[in-house]
């Protein structure tokens, strides 16, 4: 077991993998069985369908853009192979589509009405979320044709949905197979590939957060999911220039890393290996976009930038001596849970009800904070030592983003200084997952570090 270096295992060897007797105590399973990342991979679709789906009619899910990118050709190939395919366009008159309950319900109703044998999702983020959710609800097999190297959710077992204006994640079945033809990926706009690169780069921050919650609070952790994407992320960074040029050679490296990052989440049984405090900030910006009518930037564009915030915080933490924490006033953010709820209700307005259970679980009173700080101090060296292996400097991460032509400031995201301040202060409340955003509050440094840390993304 220990001899296995998962960072160097080819993607093909991770597919269908089952690990029993892992030292972490869990059994790890990868449900995705087949992936093709080569040029011309789309031609393999009829073969994939024959291998993984029963006979019967298929439904192909697309939008206007992905129809042109690969959908039209996919239908032609399937029909030539004798398959009946019905088309399901998720957008209406080219309006941007959301993965919301209604969009999923429409697809589910059609799958049931047409007695569909299998679902072919042709698209990236939103179509992927809609298809994974509908496939899970109906128990149908899903094959995904990726059209952009824009995010790491293709192979993950989580889908992001908008419910009553609030972004939530739900467990789901990943596709049985993924086809990602680098030439198709290169036909997507460059900012989408740059977003995938940004999502990938958040690994430095999210891994550190996952390690932090393990070392400090004893939360579940396993090293295998961390290893799975490690080498691939490093290779993508080396290919940043080719990714910037949106060339198939660079995008095949990037998509390999993104699929591995999705598999890392499946192995961990949660998004922890790829989603920490930097993702909470990004999710909060998505959840509050309707307050100002702002159109959110792509997920990976945002997480690339918010990673710089987490890394700047870790940089401060790594050089902070415990005496400074000991001398800090021990004052909880809110004197009582009622005071916290009242403030969060006024701050989060229409989204407060959905996040309140998460916030309650994080509340610490005076005694709770004293015990937490004691714990932090007793493990300070261990925390610093453990996270230092995962993080890089924000300056280096920013250089990587620049090299790949990705966004690296809030201006590039359409985020204002106020929205940045807001997320820095409050993002930690939207999810009961311990991240660097919580640690900074627990050691009393949130306000002191604010301006310096936020300067890293301006």
The number of beta carbons lying within 10 Å of the beta carbon of residue 372 is 20
Question: Smallest distance, Å, CB 275 to Zn ion?
Answer: 6
In the complex with Zn ion, which residue's Cβ is closer, 226 or 351? 226
Query: Which range of residues in 48-56, 122-130, 214-222, 327-335 is near Zn ion by CB under 5 A?
Result: 214-222
**Contact mark string toward Zn ion, 224..263, x via CB under 5 A:** x---------------------------------------
- Residue whose tokens read 């009518």: 293
Report the candidate in 159, 175, 173 with the shortest Cα–Cα distance to residue 101.
Answer: 159
Strands (E), 44-195: 58-62, 85-89, 118-123, 141-146, 158-163, 166-171, 177-179
Structure tokens given for 326: 């000991």
Among 128, 121, 113, 120, residue whose Cα is nearest residue 58: 120
Q: What angle do CA 426, 432, 436 make, to 5 degrees?
A: 60
Smallest distance from the beta carbon of 445 to Zn ion, in angstroms? 26
Helices (H), 139-247: 182-185, 190-201, 203-217, 223-238, 240-244
Q: Does 222 bind Zn ion (CB under 5 A)?
A: yes
Size of the site for Zn ion (CB under 5 A): 5
Using CB under 5 A as the binding rule, whether residue 214 contacts Zn ion is answered as no
Gap between the Cα atoms of 310 and 194, Å rounded: 19
Stretch of residues binding Zn ion (CB under 5 A), selected from 23-31, 117-125, 190-198, 384-392: 23-31
| Residue closer to Zn ion (CB basis): 23 or 335 | 23
Q: How far is the CB of 196 from Zn ion (least distance, A)?
A: 10
Question: Cβ neighbours of residue 395 under 8 Å, at least 6 residues apart?
Answer: none
SS3 at position 100: strand
Query: Cβ closer to Zn ion: 121 or 196?
Result: 196
| Binding window for Zn ion (CB under 5 A); candidates: 14-22, 61-69, 308-316, 362-370 | 14-22
- For residues 220 and 334, which CB has a smaller minimum distance to Zn ion in the complex? 220
Site string for Zn ion, 175-204 (x = CB under 5 A): ------------------------x-----
Minimum distance, C-beta of residue 206 to Zn ion, in the bound complex (Å): 8
Block residue for tokens 């090293």: 223
Which of the stretches 53-61, 215-223, 288-296, 378-386 binds Zn ion when contact is defined by CB under 5 A? 215-223
Instruction: Answer positive or negative: Cα dihedral of 394, 246, 254, 144.
Output: positive
Tell the smallest beta-carbon distance from residue 389 to Zn ion (Å). 18
- The distance of closest approach from Cβ of residue 19 to Zn ion in the complex, given in angstroms and rounded to an integer, is 7
- 58-62 vs 28-29, strand pairing mode: unpaired
The least distance separating Zn ion from the CB of residue 286, rounded to whole angstroms, comes to 11
E strands, 224-293, in order: none
Closest CB 37 distance from Zn ion, rounded Å: 20
Smallest separation, CB 24 to Zn ion (Å): 3
In the chain, the N- to C-terminal Cα span, in Å, equals: 45
Stretch that binds Zn ion, among 35-43, 204-212, 220-228, 438-446 (CB under 5 A): 220-228
Using the minimum distance from each CB to Zn ion, give the nearer residue, 62 or 274: 274
What is the separation of C-alpha 125 from the centre of its chain, rounded to a whole number of angstroms? 10
Spell out, one character per residue from 112 to 151, where the chain touches Zn ion: x when CB under 5 A holds, - when not: ----------------------------------------
| Beta carbon of residue 160, minimum distance to Zn ion (angstroms, whole number) | 9
- Dihedral sign for Cα 166, 172, 175, 181, please: positive
Location of structure tokens 């306000």: 447
Contact segment (CB under 5 A) with Zn ion among 19-27, 154-162, 305-313, 328-336 equals: 19-27
CB of 279 to Zn ion, least distance (A): 6
Question: Which token pair is 139?
Answer: 């128990």
Element (H, E) at 248: helix 248-268
When the beta carbons of 22 and 245 are compared against Zn ion, the nearer one is 22
Is residue 414 classed exposed, middle or buried when 0-12, 13-18 and 19+ CB atoms within 10 A define those classes?
middle
- CB nearer to Zn ion: give 25 or 357: 25
Exposure pattern of 106-137 as b/e (b: 16+ CB <10 Å)?
ebbebbeeeebbbbbbbbbbbbbbbbbbbbbb
- Give the binding range for Zn ion (CB under 5 A) out of 18-26, 183-191, 400-408, 422-430: 18-26
Q: How far is the CB of 443 from Zn ion (least distance, A)?
A: 27
- Do residues 458 and 413 make contact, with C-beta atoms less than 8 angstroms apart? no
Cβ proximity to Zn ion: between 67 and 408 the closer is: 408
Q: Is 24 in the site for Zn ion (CB under 5 A)?
A: yes
60 vs 254, which CB is nearer to Zn ion? 254
Binding footprint of Zn ion on the chain (CB under 5 A): 22, 24, 199, 222, 224
């Amino acid at each position: 077991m220990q001899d296995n270096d998962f960072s160097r295992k080819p993607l093909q060897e991770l597919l269908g993998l089952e690990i029993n007797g892992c030292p972490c105590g869990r059994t790890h399973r990868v449900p995705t069985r087949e992936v093709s990342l080569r040029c011309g991979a789309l031609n393999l679709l009829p073969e994939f369908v024959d291998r993984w789906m029963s006979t019967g009619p298929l439904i192909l899910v697309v939008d206007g853009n992905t129809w042109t990118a690969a959908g039209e050709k996919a239908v032609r190939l399937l029909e030539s192979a004798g398959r009946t395919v019905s088309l399901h366009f998720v957008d209406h008159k080219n309006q941007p589509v959301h993965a919301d309950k209604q969009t999923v319900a429409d697809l589910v109703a059609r799958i049931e009405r047409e007695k569909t044998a299998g679902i072919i999702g042709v698209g990236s983020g939103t179509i992927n979320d809609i298809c994974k959710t509908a496939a899970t609800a109906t128990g149908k097999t899903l094959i995904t044709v990726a059209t952009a190297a824009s995010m790491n959710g293709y192979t993950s077992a989580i889908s992001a949905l908008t419910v009553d204006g609030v972004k939530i994640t739900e467990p789901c079945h990943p596709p049985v197979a993924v086809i990602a033809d680098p030439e198709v990926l290169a036909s997507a706009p460059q900012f989408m590939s740059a977003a995938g690169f940004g999502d990938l780069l958040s690994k430095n921050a999210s891994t550190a957060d996952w390690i932090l919650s393990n070392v400090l609070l004893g939360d579940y952790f396993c090293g295998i999911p961390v290893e799975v994407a490690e080498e691939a992320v490093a290779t993508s960074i080396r290919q940043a220039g080719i990714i910037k040029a949106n060339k198939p050679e660079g995008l095949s490296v990037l998509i390999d890393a993104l699929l591995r990052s999705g598999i890392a989440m499946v192995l961990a049984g949660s998004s922890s290996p790829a989603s920490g405090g930097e993702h909470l900030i990004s999710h909060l910006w998505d959840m509050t976009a309707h307050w100002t009518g702002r159109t959110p930037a792509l997920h990976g564009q945002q997480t690339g930038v918010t990673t710089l915030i987490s890394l700047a915080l870790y940089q401060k933490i790594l050089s902070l001596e415990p005496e400074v924490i000991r001398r800090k006033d021990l004052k909880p953010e809110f004197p009582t849970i009622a005071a916290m709820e009242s403030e969060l209700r006024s701050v989060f307005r229409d989204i407060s009800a959905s996040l309140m259970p998460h916030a309650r679980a994080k509340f610490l009173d005076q005694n709770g904070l004293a015990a937490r700080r004691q714990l932090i101090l007793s493990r300070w060296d261990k925390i610093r030592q453990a996270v230092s292996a995962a993080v890089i400097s924000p300056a280096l991460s920013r250089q990587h983003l620049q090299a790949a032509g990705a966004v690296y400031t809030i201006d590039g995201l359409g985020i204002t200084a106020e929205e940045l301040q807001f997320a820095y202060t409050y993002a930690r409340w939207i999810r009961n997952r311990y991240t660097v955003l919580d640690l900074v509050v627990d050691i009393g440094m949130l306000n002191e570090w604010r301006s310096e840390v936020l300067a890293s993304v301006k």
